Amino acid sequence: MRHFIHHRFCLSLVTMALLGFVVLVAVQSTRANPGLAIVQDDQRDQELLRSRYPAARADKTIFSPLDLPTPNRMRTASGLPGEDYWQQQVDYRIEVSLDVEIESVTATAHVTYTNNSPQDLPYLWISLEQNLFRPDSDGSRFAPPGSRFDNRPGFEGGIDIGYVRTGDTNLKLAIHDTVGRIDLAEPVRAKGGTTEFDISWSFRIPDYGADRMGIRRCEQGNIYQLAQWFPAVCKFDDVHGWNTLPYLGQGEFFTDFGSYDVKITAPRGHVVCATGVLRNAEEVLSEKQLRRLIQANTSRQTVMIRSAREIGTEAAAKPGEGPLTWHFQADKVRTFAWTSSDATIWDAASVIQEDGKTTLVQSVYPTESRTAWRESTQMLKHSIEHYNKKWFPYPYPTATNVSGIVGGMEYPMIIFCMEDTDPEGLHMVTSHEIGHNWFPMVVNTDERRAAWMDEGFNTFMNSYDRYDIYEAEVNGGEMPDEDTGFNARNMARLMSRPNVQPLALPADQIHPDWLGMLAYYKTATAMQMLREVVLGPDRFDPAFREYIRAWAFKSPQPADFFRCMENGTGTELAWYWRGWFLENIPLDQAIVDVDQSIASGLARITIANHREMVMPVSLEIEFTNGETLEHKLPVHVWYYTNLWTADVEIGDRTIQQVVIDPNRVMPDLNRRNNKWTAPKKKDAAAGPDDGSKQDGDGNDNGDGNSP
């Protein structure tokens, strides 16, 4: 049912009665005269354009304020963390062994949990994400067969817990699919209380681990990629309490920051890389490898640490017998991932910042990947330098790119990429995955509930870190222009489809076919439009940098982002958040009418907004003498109407055509109504062009009173 109710007024009972009488008379008249019905339909459509109705929002328009949580001393009205902001900390000491014969992991951990919340906690929830790979897990039954996040048929995995205890006291662990509840002997006290426990576990490594982990079979050995592999304490926060959404595969993870001290035992001949800094390089590397690694720590150029010729030879590892234990330490990270392989080349270089701090950037990859991966370390270095300069300094001491079975996945200081042969493709996935160290590894967002806040923001950042710029700056050549090449035309069809979901949904609730388009590309396009079209870089960039700075190593919610950007830019953007993030609604801007008068030197250009999304308007006016004029209108013209007439000074010039969105950057679903062209005069007797009016089709449209 269509509601014809203006957003500022309600019709009285008397008015509705009169309206009913008018409608009855009109129906009787149109039955007698069908031609009149067409005219009245056109008039009614024009009247509908003149008022902005609530449409699907019941009692709101697209401009109405958002229903955001009430600000408080934790999350302020300006979108910044408040003076009472708190978050938990979880520190891990882990010892893990890789068994390549049965392809399994066995580990123990000592966990220290600090409760900074204002309430005592009698129990802890932990994530047991390896249980995704049980055939009867919710995720195994939820993911479409053969999809990216599906557990491949025939593999029966899952985590086996040996014990959970505090000292000599066993703790009760109740497992529910991919989460478990540990009942504590005593509650962990509020506002700084701590508890410690020990846990042991083991699991078989899946060949294909839902594109998060797995094993790549290579000519000279195997590459093991381990992620989401240990029992991690779930995040407890001020918004949801315990965050225990199940791990179904498509939604990634959301955890607290902490320190990690991890010792990884792997066969001699393996290269092990991980989140954090290698603390015992002299114990696991040959003298030659150690010298090369030290050189790489201060070199802007790539240094080969283990070459293809050394793989499988005595030069591949430190002389001796038996496995080696690699010791890594990492601070202020939200998880820990690692890789181990006897088949990888290893090279490295350093990012050297202005203050003298360095970040060791390195790549490990098999000989099969050399075509593209010989440039991996420089690509990684270039992307970090780009993001450092443009947005926020990379805060970690290492960054590692790993070629393996995983197509593309990110963890603190280590990323998994698969592209073997195409340098441009490798640059794209490398730029994207290392970009995730800004979102969500530093700005710690909830990937299961708001994937757009990391995938979309990161994809937005990636659009300015282009391969052609890398090629010019690193390999020499002509520097390309700064144009990102973005436009929103590809969004028009998407946004016009009624069955497409809004992007601001939990990741697992988005159809797998739409996750990439919505969480990644629609969000990135929305951010680009906001920066390039709505606000401009001078207004957008300081606000976005402040958002990153304020929420670095903290956990913002969507409302915090919205408020932070509105406060930082001094702009009310409820219409934008609704139109791009919270709803899926189309845009259709049109030129309805052009009335030009040489006598007055004015042109009256009438435009319409035919659908519910609103955006600013850009008009290009072309005159018969070849001159052009750009005329812009703010989004505010759509506050109370969908039909607007703009008065434009044209002097003694005659308009040849008017085009809406001449650069075609808007996601306009119908471009056929975006241009008005002056009609050709039939003969000289038509008289001078002194005020005649034509509609968007070039036809005479009568006097056409404007609002």
Q: How confident is the model at residue 655 (pLDDT cuts 50, 70, 90)?
A: very high
Statement: residue 694 has pLDDT above 60 = no
Residue 706 maps to a domain = no
Kind and range of the H or E element at 203? strand 193-204
Residue 707 maps to a domain = no
Summarize the confidence of residues 423-434 as an average pLDDT.
Answer: 97
Statement: residue 422 has pLDDT above 60 = yes
Lowest mean pLDDT among 139-143, 144-148, 285-289: 144-148
Residue 6 maps to a domain = no
Give pLDDT, residue 43.
Answer: 66
Q: Do 492 and 427 belong together in one domain?
A: no
Residues 296-342: tens digit of each pLDDT: 999 999 999 999 999 999 999 999 999 999 999 999 999 999 999 99
Phi, psi (rounded to 5 degrees) for 112: -115, 120
Q: Do 386 and 506 belong together in one domain?
A: no
In angstroms, the CA 374 to CA 421 distance is 10
Residue 701 maps to a domain = no
Residue 703 maps to a domain = no
Residue 462 maps to a domain = yes
Statement: residue 32 has pLDDT above 70 = no
Better-scored residue on pLDDT, 687 or 671:
671
For 457, left (φ over 0), alpha (ψ -120 to 50), or beta?
A: alpha
Q: Do 256 and 168 belong together in one domain?
A: yes
In angstroms, the CA 666 to CA 377 distance is 37
Looking from the CA of 405 toward its CB, the CA atoms found within 13 Å total 24
Summarize the confidence of residues 646-674 as an average pLDDT.
Answer: 95
Burial 492-530 (b: 16+ CB within 10 A, else e): bebbbeeebebbbbbbbebebebbebbbbbbbbbbbbbb
Q: Do 503 and 389 belong together in one domain?
A: no
State the total domains in the chain: 4
Residues 351-378: tens digit of each pLDDT: 998 888 999 999 999 999 999 999 999 9
Give pLDDT, residue 59.
Answer: 78
Q: How confident is the model at residue 467 (pLDDT cuts 50, 70, 90)?
A: confident
Site of tokens 């490594």: 205
User: Within its chain, how far is the Cα of 447 from the centroid?
Assistant: 9
Please tell me whether the peptide bond between 440 and the residue prior to it is cis, using omega within 30 degrees of 0.
yes
Give pLDDT, residue 702.
Answer: 31
Kind and range of the H or E element at 417? strand 414-417
Q: Do 358 and 226 belong together in one domain?
A: yes
Q: Is the CB of residue 488 less than 8 Å from the CB of residue 667?
A: yes
Residues 492-536: tens digit of each pLDDT: 888 888 888 999 999 999 999 999 999 999 999 999 999 999 999
Domain boundary among 561, 585, 609: 585
Q: Is the CB of residue 618 less than 8 Å from the CB of residue 662?
A: yes
Summarize the confidence of residues 417-439 as an average pLDDT.
Answer: 96
Residues 591-601: tens digit of each pLDDT: 999 999 988 99
Q: Do 526 and 565 belong together in one domain?
A: yes
Give pLDDT, residue 47.
Answer: 64
Domain boundary among 585, 607, 642: 585
Summarize the confidence of residues 609-618 as an average pLDDT.
Answer: 96
Q: Do 227 and 273 belong together in one domain?
A: yes
Q: Do 581 and 597 belong together in one domain?
A: no
Q: Do 380 and 495 belong together in one domain?
A: no
Mean pLDDT of the chain: 89
Q: Do 306 and 444 belong together in one domain?
A: yes
Q: Smallest Cα–Cα separation from 334: which of 232, 455, 457?
A: 232
Count, residues in the chain: 707
Following DSSP, what letter does each residue of 624-683 receive, concatenated? TTS-EEEEEE-GGGGSS-SEEEEEEE-TT--EEEEEESTT--S-BS-GGGSEEEPPPPS-
Residue 386 maps to a domain = yes
Give pLDDT, residue 485.
Answer: 56
Q: Do 32 and 169 belong together in one domain?
A: no
Residue 133 maps to a domain = yes
Q: Do 576 and 623 belong together in one domain?
A: no
Residues 68-124: tens digit of each pLDDT: 999 999 999 999 999 999 999 999 999 999 999 999 999 999 999 999 999 999 999
Q: Is the CB of residue 167 less than 8 Å from the CB of residue 83?
A: no
Kind and range of the H or E element at 431? helix 423-435
Give the CATH number of the domain where residue 516 resides: 1.10.390.10
Kind and range of the H or E element at 173? strand 172-176
Q: How confident is the model at residue 154 (pLDDT cuts 50, 70, 90)?
A: confident
Give pLDDT, residue 114.
Answer: 98
Give pLDDT, residue 585.
Answer: 92
Six token digits for residue 402: 């790993």
Give the CATH number of the domain where residue 279 resides: 2.60.40.1730
Six token digits for residue 209: 């681990």
Q: Smallest Cα–Cα separation from 158: which of 177, 182, 181?
A: 177
Give pLDDT, residue 680.
Answer: 85
Domain boundary among 585, 612, 647: 585
Boundaries of domain holding 489:
63-85+450-585
Give pLDDT, residue 475.
Answer: 82
Give pLDDT, residue 41.
Answer: 60
Q: Smallest Cα–Cα separation from 430: which of 409, 444, 445?
A: 409
In angstroms, the CA 342 to CA 329 distance is 22
Give pLDDT, residue 541.
Answer: 98
List the Cα angle 62/64/70 in 5-degree steps: 130
